[in-house]
Amino acid sequence: MNKVLRSFSLLVSSILTLSVFGQINYGGEPFDWSQKNLDEFSIHFNTMPIVDMDLARAQDEVTDAYKETPYRFGIEHDVDVDVISQSSEQRQQSQTIYRFGIHCPEAISVSLLFSTFNIPKGDQVFIYNAERSEFLGSFNHKNQNSADGLAVGTLKSDRIIIEYIQNGAELADIQISQVIHGYRAILNKWEDPERGPFGNSGACNINVICPEGDQWQVEKKSVALIVSGGNAQCTGALVNNTAQDGTPYFLTANHCLGNPNNWVFYFNHEATSCGGNSGPSNQSVSGAVVRANNGGSDFALLELNDTPPAGFDVQYVGWDRSDLENVTSAVGIHHPSGDVKKICFENDSPYHDSFFGTQVWWIDEWEDGVTEGGSSGSPLFNQNHQVIGQLFGGQAACQGSSNNGQYDYYGRFGVSWNGSSAATRLRDWLDPLGTSPQAIDGWPIGAESFNLDGLVSPGNGDVGTICGDSFEPIVNIVNQGANILTSATITFVLNGDEQSAEWTGSLEQYQSEAFSLGTVILINGTNNLEVSLSNPNGNEDENDTNNMYTVEINAVAGQAVVYEFNLTLDDYGTETTWSFTNDEGLVLYEGGPYQDDLDGTLVSEDICLGDGCYTFTILDDYDDGICCNYGDGSYELLDNLGDEVTSGGEFETSESADFCVGSGNSLAEQEVIEFNVYPNPNNGTFSIEWAQGIEVQRAEIMDGTGRIVKSLALQNEFGRKEVNANELAKGIYFIRLLGENYSANQRIIVR
């Protein structure tokens, strides 16, 4: 059995490309990179144990046959290495360079998992092979995440060097917990030219670049191979959301889950020709967090730690949550056995079924192509190029160069949409606008083109709060169809009152025009506006998935005061966010993050506030405020008379100020009780403590929009409740304790 891995390698000529297309990094190169002689650096190499290759081959002969088992290409060595303490030092003017080496005897490739990766601002980390022909990095404080660790890609060599360049007074904390000895590759003694860098699939599989896949060249850009340690773990895909904002949500299978923060996601790993067997492996993202998962439909929705950069040219695919058995054909795009990207076709109708209690789409037999181990979690598309599920398992495989005629089954997207909480369903994450569409297309490229396809979107941007009771809604009319769009009916419903207007013009495909709906009168508080388009060119729209949107407009229709908020940025604007919330925890205004390297740039906002009490909060994601180590950032809030309400800039994680406008008595006339939340900030695990004897009925955790994201029953609790809400994304939340005649609110920060 000749299952061999082609190493994850970059030629010397591709080093310039790496800085643009490699694992997300922040530029630069190792110290004195042109110097190829390592001897003068006196680097200490920590040698890993010898790998028993006979045992590894025997294990692989068993596990390679199972679809639910990851495809292993490397042996994982658990270590506990403090890089700084074991490094050699070289002082160079104001810099200190630390180098530490790792040797995996007879390895084809080596990769790492950092359990701790805390890098001071201004410092850099590079990882390169001993031949100094390729490197990864730089990595810096921006690569840090809430889990503290970092998984890095593979380098072709049996010896690698970690180089840390210290530029300031503070020293980094870098700990290695795992070293992966890559043993299956084209250069080892089981050489086989049919192998891909991470694995190989059967001969009946079809490269996605082949003519059969011509209609799927957009969707393929969403699909990525998941590598965990020494395993080609699974497959998954980036999925679109109703805000179409590029949030890197990634759909895969629940049974694939381990620790996604230690995963590396490889995009665009595909052959460049129909008969090819190898492709690029230099576009990767490290780490993710689980947003939601459920075994009932075997789904897991992750959010990648970093958004794939523009150079990766990824697609966020659309989806259909209707769960109707009207699917006429289906397509799967996947990485079987960790191989380059493949495609398979079901020309009949998949149908609903249940597999040991999991709700699935059942594929009786693929007409072309199959799936294998490593394909798990890959997307299943309907005939409209929309995701309807992700691969759970099955018996489909190659039998020589032919399909074995067996079945596969996929967890159903429509079942995954709903659940008992945000942590067990998709809708909270993929429908942030709350528009509840049955289906949406992909982004930024639409999945299918129609002759008549009108699209409407908000033309006023993020409306937020309106100061006053009049408003002019603007709608963007976009021609998504091939035919010239000359007319359409625009219907809008404001707080239950329906009106319509006729638009005429001339729009070529993908052209747009702003169209005013006239001046409308708002009520004080929240206004609901629903806008829809119909009758393009006097006919039925061929694509009704993009014909409507809804927005909420907060109006201060009575007495209002306009405050002036001024923010001066420091060097690291990407770390700065701020918000104004009312006494119910609803975010009225917010801003950031901003760009880096804009020290001294002034951001000014008018803040319109009515009678009531409010909280201003500013956060720094790196816990060092906005002044004064990395620029002279500051903020101030001035009232309508120009008097200062609050100001600052020197803080750590956050700073806040409470203030009132007018009478300042906007709370309901209830008894207010005091309670504590600790620790605060926290990582989603915390305690709530209140005075014993007070009968608290329940607690509600609300996000910045005022939406309840978690509810807790407290009737049988006596003064204290331990809360585990690890599913919460980082940000500001509000906890409300409720009793029969009282309520209490408190702000918390989840890091």
CA dihedral 530, 535, 537, 542 (to 10 degrees): 100
Tell me the pLDDT band of 667, cut-offs 50, 70 and 90. very low
Distance CA 705, CA 379 (A): 31
Structure tokens at 461: 């941007």
Query: What is the spatial distance between Cα 736 and Cα 747, in angstroms, rounded to a whole number?
Result: 9
The pLDDT of residue 194 is above 80: no
| pLDDT of 696 strictly over 50 | yes
Q: Where are the domains of the chain?
A: 12-182, 206-430, 449-556, 560-661, 671-750
The mean pLDDT value for 56-73 works out to 78
Q: Parallel, antiparallel, or unpaired: how do β-strands 439-440 and 319-320 relate?
A: antiparallel
Residue 408 has pLDDT above 90, yes or no: yes
The pLDDT assigned to 741 comes to 62
* Mean confidence (pLDDT) of the chain: 85
Active site residue 599: no
Catalytic site includes residue 297: no
Determine the Cα–Cα distance for residues 588 and 607; give it in Å rounded to an integer: 9
Q: What is the DSSP letter of 309?
A: P
CATH level 3 topology of 206-430: Thrombin, subunit H (2.40.10)
What is the distance of C-alpha 520 from the center of its chain?
Answer: 38
What pLDDT digit, counting tens, does each position of 670-679 carry? 455 678 888 8
Q: Provide the residue type at 119 as one letter.
A: I
CA-wise closest residue to 428 among 641, 184, 707: 707
For residue 199, what pLDDT is reported? 59
Give the pLDDT mean for 329-344: 93
Q: How many C-beta neighbours within 10 Å does residue 175 have?
A: 18
> Which of 202, 536, 603, 148 minimizes the C-alpha distance to 375?
202
User: Quick one: pLDDT at residue 198?
Assistant: 60
Q: Give the three-class secondary structure for 473.
A: coil
* Selected residue with higher pLDDT from 537 and 34: 537
> Per CATH, which fold does 671-750 belong to?
Immunoglobulin-like (2.60.40)
pLDDT at 740 over 70: no
**Catalytic pick from 255, 269, 335, 385?**
255
pLDDT above 70 coverage of the chain, percent: 89
> Which class in CATH covers the domain with range 449-556?
mainly beta
Alpha-carbon distance of 200 to 338, in angstroms, equals 6
Please give the backbone phi and psi of residue 537, each rounded to the nearest 5 degrees, phi first.
Answer: 55, 30
Task: State whether residue 261 is helix, strand or coil.
Answer: helix
Residue 523: predicted pLDDT: 87
Single out the catalytic residue among 375, 376, 416, 656.
376
CB distance 518 to 554 below 8 Å: no
Contact 116, 107 (CB under 8 A): no
- For 12-182, the fitting CATH number among 3.90.870.10, 2.60.120.290, 1.10.3720.10, 2.30.40.10 is 2.60.120.290
Q: Nearest to residue 129, comparing CAs of 229, 227, 7?
A: 7
CB 560 within 8 A of CB 609: yes
Q: How confident is the model at residue 1 (pLDDT cuts 50, 70, 90)?
A: very low
Per-residue pLDDT at 464 = 67
Catalytic one among 64, 123, 158, 298? 298
298 is annotated as an active-site residue: yes
> What is the spatial distance between Cα 179 and Cα 202, in angstroms, rounded to a whole number?
29
pLDDT for 39 beyond 70: no
Residue 16 has what DSSP assignment?
H
Per residue in 561-578, pLDDT (tens digit) is 889 999 999 999 888 999
Most confidently modeled range among 39-43, 63-67, 547-551, 613-617: 613-617
Structure confidence at residue 621 (pLDDT):
81
**Identity of the highest mean pLDDT range in 76-85, 541-550, 710-719:** 76-85
Contact yes or no for 458/546 (Cβ under 8 A): no
Range ranked top by mean pLDDT from 470-479, 488-497, 611-620, 717-726: 488-497
Coil, helix or strand at residue 592 = coil
Torsion of CA 665, 668, 673, 678, to 10 degrees: -80
Strand order in the sheet with 742-750: 671-672, 742-750, 731-738, 698-702, 708-713
Least confident of 249-258, 282-291, 341-350, 438-447: 438-447
* Number of other CB atoms surrounding residue 213 within 10 Å: 23
> Sign of the CA dihedral 109, 113, 118, 121?
positive
Instruction: Calculate what percentage of the chain has a pLDDT beyond 90.
Output: 46
Query: Is the model's pLDDT at 238 over the cut of 70?
Result: yes
The answer to whether 582 and 537 are in contact (CB under 8 A) is no
What is the pLDDT, as a whole number, of residue 24? 67
Contact (Cβ atoms closer than 8 angstroms) between residue 432 and residue 242: yes
d(CA 400, CA 617): 63
For domain 560-661, which CATH number applies: 1.10.286, 2.60.40, 1.10.1200, 3.40.190? 2.60.40
Where residue 177 falls (left for φ over 0; alpha for ψ -120 to 50; beta otherwise) is alpha
The residue with tokens 């909480």 is 421
pLDDT of residue 64: 73
pLDDT digits (tens, 9 = 90+) for 70-118: 778 889 999 999 999 999 999 888 899 999 999 999 998 899 999 999 9
Is a pLDDT exceeding 50 seen at residue 711? yes
Contacts of 134 (CB under 8 A, 6+ apart): 9, 10, 11, 12, 14, 15, 18, 128, 155, 156
Q: Report pLDDT digits (tens) over 476-489.
A: 898 878 899 999 99
What was the pLDDT predicted at 14?
28
Rounded to 5, what percent of the chain is helix, strand, coil?
A: 10, 45, 45
**573 three-state secondary structure:** helix
Residue 668 is predicted with a pLDDT of 39
Closest to 304 measured CA to CA, from 246, 351, 344, 220: 246
395 alpha-carbon distance from chain centroid:
31
Measured distance CA(179)–CA(446) in Å, rounded: 42
The string of pLDDT tens digits covering residues 459-507 is: 776 576 788 888 899 998 988 788 999 999 999 999 999 999 999 999 9
Instruction: Show the tokens assigned to 335.
Output: 């990485």
Question: C-alpha angle 435/438/442, rounded to 5°?
Answer: 90
pLDDT at 705: 53
Are 560-661 and 671-750 in the same CATH fold? yes
